[in-house]
């Protein structure tokens, strides 16, 4: 691809980002194969074949973090050559620096293994010096080819690719090497590593130049300013300690299986490949959850895994059966790589979240230096401690390693305590993360979120958002909030529906209020309804403004939401809108709002539009809302439903209701005159004039009153109006109300008033 400056965060187009990520991924895969062929386990086995001991192995491993000190030099080179060119050129140089090691077998064959070891040392030092300068802008390049939203999952995928390369290299070496390999086989493996690394370096020159680095200031002032920021010094301590302890733990596992269990070169390499499987599992797990839960809790989790790994070595029993040894040692290598690379990945994500983009060059160098110094000291210290234990008379090799790794388990426990004190940076708490891994519901939510992120069509997004709403997981909220930015109405509406069950945090509250204010005629009305149901009182000002919207869907939902929030100051405005509107939707929602407010004084306002002969559904809503204000909604609804189904059936239901109430209540609770007058109402329901006169007499015997407010005048006035009095549904309502107030339902302890 054409090289283009990344400019600023998100400066590349999505297509350019994908192309850059593909190049970086291919480079990483080939580079890992090369790295496995040229460093670490192969060098350790090579040195052991030439007669080296634990201290010298520790020295050789200490050269690996030596590279982390060279970015201080590389910074000056980057300013002259640019980040990408510096990385590419010195990646080529590092491969060439390994060529002296190819001649080590010749020295050994001449009876000079010491010269062979020196050639190994010279090659390894040169390799890592060049590698260190090449690494200077590594964090900056990662920042340039990713966006903040995807950075965690990209790094996790990178570890997946890296360890697929490591497994490929491990299997190849396991097949090539033998129980006691000829030195020429090591030369072949190392030569393949050099060639593969040169091919990998070609991909580096395809990457974009991170232009944001041009704004980076001086190195030491940047570091000084960073230490003044909250959380940075504590993170540096955790970073240094983790690098130190990891360097004391990881390199010597291979030596452990050789010294204690007597395994051959090929078996040791295959165990290392098993460890790479652990790194792949780590990458899969991390890519699944990192963008949902944040880096800090996963750092704690991986520290626990490493502590368990060290403990497994410390308490390892004697294992005679080869199959059992494979299982036990394979588990150790699996967990060790799972935890070590997981920690490395999470530290990178946390670090990039902690610093601004323009400081990635300077603080990225400082990050590498901290890790490098810690790892170098850890490798030297590990070799020295194991060498000292080996010199103790009477101390067997297995006991020495038990003591050593027992100390490592304690060290990781201390790192865990320090990690838990880091700032969360928006991450989920550690106990909640543990809950995610043991909850099928949360795991299903993670799977759906992973699929939603990859969805490309509105239909797919709608389907997955519906499923997320059914899962009801708090993990879904960030993705659902992002879905509110979709230009598709159906996607936004599904997201709002799914948010109805999400926990109300500040981001959800703010998003719902913004939706009401900025999305009229689309999904604002859905957000208003959700606000009312979730009792968000801070949204009252936005809802009040929504009452005046030309979007009558929104205005209606704002009426109901304000009523749910018991915003008494809005009642007068809602009553005025209800009286003046001719829109059936506003009438229905206004009636529902007045019922929710439940003010007896609103009954006259509520019944007023019946005189304008609104639609049937609006009439029904008004009458049912009136039953709510009278506190008889639960009793009236089935009677009314039966009446609308068939008039005679509804009247029969009302007659049965009257008869049952007369039988259940004491005879002296109702005067005979009142009972007789109410019983006359159903037969007169088809005669408006006769019904009105009979209702006036019945209500005089047993008035309808709520909270001390006499509502008889309101009902009688409504009956006297031409259209309202002529409405048979309303006359049925009055007859049922008279029956309910003449024979009220028995009071029950703790029972709420009907209709509220």
Mean pLDDT of 558-569: 95
Residue 427 and residue 455 in contact, taking contact as beta carbons nearer than 8 Å: no
Does 625 map to a domain?
Answer: no
pLDDT for the residue numbered 543: 95
pLDDT for the residue numbered 214: 47
Residue 202 and residue 67 in contact, taking contact as beta carbons nearer than 8 Å: no
- Which of the two residues, 699 and 63, has the higher pLDDT score? 699
Select from 27, 274, 261, 220 the least CA-distant residue to 134: 27
Q: Do 186 and 159 share a structural domain?
A: yes
Q: Do 468 and 401 share a structural domain?
A: no
CA distance 606 to 578: 8
CA distance 300 to 415: 9
pLDDT for the residue numbered 298: 85
Mean pLDDT of 429-451: 70
Does 7 map to a domain?
Answer: no
Mean pLDDT of 534-562: 94
Query: What DSSP line would sit under 174-241, residue for residue?
Result: HHH--TT--HHHHHHHHHHHHHHHHHHHHHHTTSPP-GGGGG---HHHHHHHHHTSTTHHHHHHHHHH
pLDDT for the residue numbered 578: 95
- Which residues does residue 705 pair with via DSSP β-bridges, in sequence order? 710
Mean pLDDT of 166-194: 74
Residue 528 and residue 561 in contact, taking contact as beta carbons nearer than 8 Å: yes
In the 8-state DSSP scheme, what is residue 665?
S
Burial (CB < 10 A; 0-12, 13-18, 19+), residue 343, is: buried
pLDDT for the residue numbered 2: 38
pLDDT digits (tens, 9 = 90+) for 448-498: 776 777 676 777 777 777 777 767 776 777 777 777 877 888 888 888 887
Select from 125, 151, 138 the least CA-distant residue to 65: 125
The answer for residues whose C-beta is within 8 angstroms of residue 605's C-beta and 6 or more apart is 575, 578, 579, 594
Does 238 map to a domain?
Answer: yes
Length of the chain measured in residues? 756
Residue 156 and residue 289 in contact, taking contact as beta carbons nearer than 8 Å: no
Sign of the CA dihedral 562, 567, 568, 572? Answer: negative
pLDDT digits (tens, 9 = 90+) for 45-60: 676 666 666 666 666 6
* Sole residue written with tokens 């059914």: 470
pLDDT digits (tens, 9 = 90+) for 323-381: 888 888 889 989 998 888 888 878 888 887 787 767 777 787 788 788 878 888 888 88
Total domains present in the chain: 3
The answer for residues whose C-beta is within 8 angstroms of residue 300's C-beta and 6 or more apart is 416, 419, 420, 430
Does 481 map to a domain?
Answer: yes
Mean pLDDT of 583-607: 94
pLDDT tier at 109, thresholds 50, 70, 90: low
Residue 558 and residue 544 in contact, taking contact as beta carbons nearer than 8 Å: yes
What pTM does this model have? 0.59
In the 8-state DSSP scheme, what is residue 504?
-
The answer for residues whose C-beta is within 8 angstroms of residue 363's C-beta and 6 or more apart is 222, 223, 226, 351, 355
Radius of gyration of the chain (CA): 38
Q: Do 591 and 476 share a structural domain?
A: yes
pLDDT tier at 254, thresholds 50, 70, 90: confident
Q: Do 447 and 414 share a structural domain?
A: no
Distance of CA 561 to the CA centre of its chain: 30
Span of 15-29, 244-258, 449-463 with lowest mean pLDDT: 449-463
- Structural domain span for residue 408: 14-435
In the 8-state DSSP scheme, what is residue 705?
E
pLDDT tier at 751, thresholds 50, 70, 90: very low
The three-state secondary structure class of 754 is coil
pLDDT for the residue numbered 488: 80
- Which of the two residues, 290 and 560, has the higher pLDDT score? 560
Q: Residue 33 corresponds to which tokens in the numbers above? A: 């194969």
Instruction: Tell me which H or E stretch contains 94.
Output: helix 83-96
Query: CB neighbours (10 Å) of residue 10?
Result: 14
- Which of the two residues, 267 and 726, has the higher pLDDT score? 726
Span of 262-266, 510-514, 642-646, 717-721 with lowest mean pLDDT: 262-266
| pLDDT at 555 > cutoff 80 | yes
Span of 194-203, 367-376, 573-582 with lowest mean pLDDT: 367-376
Does 574 map to a domain?
Answer: yes
- Which of the two residues, 650 and 432, has the higher pLDDT score? 650
Q: Do 163 and 114 share a structural domain?
A: yes
pLDDT for the residue numbered 753: 40
- Residue that terminates a domain, selected from 586, 617, 648: 617
Q: Residue 349 corresponds to which tokens in the numbers above? A: 């994500």
Contacts 24+ apart (CB under 8 A), 395-403: 397/259, 397/260, 398/260, 398/316, 398/318, 401/256, 401/259, 401/260, 401/313, 402/313, 402/314, 402/315, 402/316, 403/314
Q: Do 652 and 530 share a structural domain?
A: no
Q: What is the mean pLDDT of the chain?
A: 81
Q: Do 113 and 214 share a structural domain?
A: yes
- Which residues does residue 709 pair with via DSSP β-bridges, in sequence order? 706
If you average pLDDT over each of 128-132, 195-199, 385-389, 592-596, which comes out highest? 592-596
* Sole residue written with tokens 């966006």: 147
Q: Do 725 and 700 share a structural domain?
A: yes
Cα dist from 643 to 43, 588, 628, whole Å:
91, 20, 18
Does 143 map to a domain?
Answer: yes
Ordered alpha helix ranges (H), 500-551: 506-518, 524-533, 540-546
| pLDDT at 105 > cutoff 60 | yes
Residue 295 and residue 425 in contact, taking contact as beta carbons nearer than 8 Å: yes
pLDDT for the residue numbered 610: 93
Q: Do 716 and 580 share a structural domain?
A: no
- What angle (nearest 5°) sits at the alpha carbon of residue 610, between those of residues 605 and 613? 145
Q: Residue 149 corresponds to which tokens in the numbers above? A: 């939203």
Burial (CB < 10 A; 0-12, 13-18, 19+), residue 227, is: exposed
706 backbone dihedrals φ, ψ, rounded to 5°: -130, 125
CA distance 698 to 704: 10
Q: Do 381 and 341 share a structural domain?
A: yes
80 Rama sector, left if φ>0, alpha if ψ -120 to 50, beta otherwise: alpha
- Which residues does residue 710 pair with via DSSP β-bridges, in sequence order? 705
B/e letters for 613-651, b = 16+ CB within 10 Å, e = fewer, are ebeeebbbbbbbbbbbbbbbbebbeebbebbeeeeeebb
CATH of the domain at 480: 1.25.10.10
The answer for residues whose C-beta is within 8 angstroms of residue 284's C-beta and 6 or more apart is 156, 160
pLDDT tier at 664, thresholds 50, 70, 90: low
| pLDDT at 675 > cutoff 60 | yes
Query: What DSSP line would sit under 606-645, residue for residue?
Result: HHGGGGG---HHHHHHHHHHHHHHTT-HHHHHHHHHHHHH
Does 8 map to a domain?
Answer: no
The answer for residues whose C-beta is within 8 angstroms of residue 514's C-beta and 6 or more apart is none
Mean pLDDT of 143-171: 75
| pLDDT at 262 > cutoff 50 | yes
Cα dist from 148 to 11, 142, 155, 253, 283, whole Å:
12, 11, 11, 36, 18
Distance of CA 609 to the CA centre of its chain: 50
* Sole residue written with tokens 């452990």: 256
Residue 468 and residue 482 in contact, taking contact as beta carbons nearer than 8 Å: no
216 Rama sector, left if φ>0, alpha if ψ -120 to 50, beta otherwise: beta
In the 8-state DSSP scheme, what is residue 707?
T
- Residue that terminates a domain, selected from 553, 585, 617: 617
The three-state secondary structure class of 567 is coil
Q: Do 510 and 582 share a structural domain?
A: yes
Does 113 map to a domain?
Answer: yes
- Residue that terminates a domain, selected from 396, 414, 435: 435
| pLDDT at 519 > cutoff 80 | yes
* Sole residue written with tokens 């009055």: 734
pLDDT for the residue numbered 631: 93
Q: Do 193 and 109 share a structural domain?
A: yes
pLDDT tier at 6, thresholds 50, 70, 90: very low
Residue 505 and residue 479 in contact, taking contact as beta carbons nearer than 8 Å: no
CATH of the domain at 105: 1.20.1250.20
B/e letters for 131-150, b = 16+ CB within 10 Å, e = fewer, are bbbbbbbbbbbbbbbbeeee
Q: Residue 76 corresponds to which tokens in the numbers above? A: 């000056």
Span of 168-177, 339-348, 504-513, 588-597 with lowest mean pLDDT: 168-177
- What angle (nearest 5°) sits at the alpha carbon of residue 433, between those of residues 427 and 436? 130
| pLDDT at 1 > cutoff 60 | no
């Amino acid at each position: 691809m054409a090289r283009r400056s990344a400019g600023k965060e998100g400066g590349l187009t999505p297509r350019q980002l994908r192309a850059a990520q593909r190049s970086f991924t291919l480079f990483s895969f080939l580079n890992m194969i090369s790295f496995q062929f040229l460093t670490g386990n192969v060098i350790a086995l090579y040195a052991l074949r030439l007669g080296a001991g634990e201290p010298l192995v520790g020295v050789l491993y200490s050269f690996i973090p030596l590279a982390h000190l060279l970015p201080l030099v590389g910074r000056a080179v980057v300013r002259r050559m640019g980040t990408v060119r510096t990385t590419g050129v010195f990646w080529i140089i590092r491969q060439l620096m390994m060529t002296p090691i190819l001649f080590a077998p010749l020295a050994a064959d001449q009876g000079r293994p010491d010269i062979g070891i020196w050639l190994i040392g010279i090659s390894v030092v040169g390799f890592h010096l060049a590698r260190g300068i090449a690494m200077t802008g590594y964090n900056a390049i990662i920042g340039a080819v990713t966006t903040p939203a995807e950075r965690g999952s990209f790094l996790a995928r990178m570890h997946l690719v890296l360890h697929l390369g490591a497994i490929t290299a491990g299997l190849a070496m396991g097949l090539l090497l033998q129980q006691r390999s000829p030195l020429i086989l090591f030369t072949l493996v190392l030569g393949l590593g050099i060639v593969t690394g040169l091919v990998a370096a070609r991909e580096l020159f395809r990457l974009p130049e991170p232009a944001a680095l041009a704004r980076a200031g001086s190195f030491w002032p940047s570091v000084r300013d960073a230490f003044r920021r909250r959380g940075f010094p504590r993170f540096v301590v955790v970073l240094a300690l983790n690098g130190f302890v990891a360097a004391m733990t990881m390199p010597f596992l291979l030596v452990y299986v050789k010294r204690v269990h007597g395994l051959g070169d090929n078996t040791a390499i295959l165990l290392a490949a098993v460890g790479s499987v652990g790194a792949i599992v780590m990458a899969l797990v991390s890519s699944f959850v990192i963008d949902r839960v944040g880096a800090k809790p996963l750092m704690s989790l991986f520290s626990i895994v490493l502590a368990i790994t060290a403990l497994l070595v410390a308490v390892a029993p004697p294992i005679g059966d080869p199959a059992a040894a494979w299982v036990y040692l394979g588990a150790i290598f699996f967990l060790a790589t799972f935890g070590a690379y997981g920690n490395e990945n999470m530290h990178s994500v946390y670090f990039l979240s902690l610093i601004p983009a323009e400081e990635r060059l300077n603080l990225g160098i400082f990050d590498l230096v901290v890790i490098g110094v810690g790892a170098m000291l850890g490798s030297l210290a590990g070799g020295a401690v194991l060498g000292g234990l080996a010199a103790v008379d009477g101390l067997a090799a297995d006991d020495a390693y038990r003591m050593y790794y027992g100390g490592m388990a304690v060290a990781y426990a201390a790192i865990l305590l320090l990690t838990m004190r880091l700032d969360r940076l928006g991450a989920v708490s550690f106990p909640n993360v543990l809950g995610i891994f043991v909850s099928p519901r949360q795991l299903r939510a993670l799977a759906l979120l992973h699929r939603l992120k990859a969805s490309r069509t509105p239909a797919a997004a709608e389907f997955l958002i519906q499923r997320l709403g059914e899962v009801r997981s708090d993990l879904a909220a960030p993705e659902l909030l992002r879905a509110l930015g979709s230009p598709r109405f159906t996607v936004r509406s599904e997201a709002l529906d799914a948010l109805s069950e999400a926990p109300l945090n500040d981001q959800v509250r703010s998003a719902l209020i913004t939706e009401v204010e900025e999305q009229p005629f689309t999904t604002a009305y859905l957000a208003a309804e959700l606000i009312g149901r979730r009792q968000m009182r801070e949204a009252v000002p936005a809802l009040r403004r929504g009452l005046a919207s030309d979007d009558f869907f929104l205005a209606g939902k704002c009426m109901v939401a304000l009523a749910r929030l018991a915003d008494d100051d809005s009642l007068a405005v809602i009553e005025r809108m209800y009286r003046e509107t001719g829109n059936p939707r506003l009438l229905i929602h206004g009636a529902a709002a007045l019922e929710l407010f439940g003010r007896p004084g609103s009954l006259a306002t509520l019944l007023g539009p019946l005189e304008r002969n609104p639609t049937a559904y609006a009439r029904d809503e008004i009458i049912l809302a009136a039953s709510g204000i009278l506190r008889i909604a639960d009793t009236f609804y089935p009677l009314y439903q039966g009446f609308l189904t068939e008039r005679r059936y509804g009247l029969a239901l009302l007659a049965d209701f009257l008869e049952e109430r007369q039988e259940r209540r004491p005879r002296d609770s109702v005067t005979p005159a009142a009972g007789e007058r109410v019983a006359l109402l159903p037969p007169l329901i088809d005669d408006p004039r006769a019904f009105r006169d009979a209702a006036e007499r019945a209500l005089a015997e047993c008035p309808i009153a709520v909270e001390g407010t006499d509502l008889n005048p309101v009902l009688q006035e409504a009956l006297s109006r031409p259209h309202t009095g002529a409405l048979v549904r309303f006359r049925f309502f009055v007859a049922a109300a008279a029956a309910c107030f003449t024979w009220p339902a028995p009071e029950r302890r703790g029972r709420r008033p009907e209709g509220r």
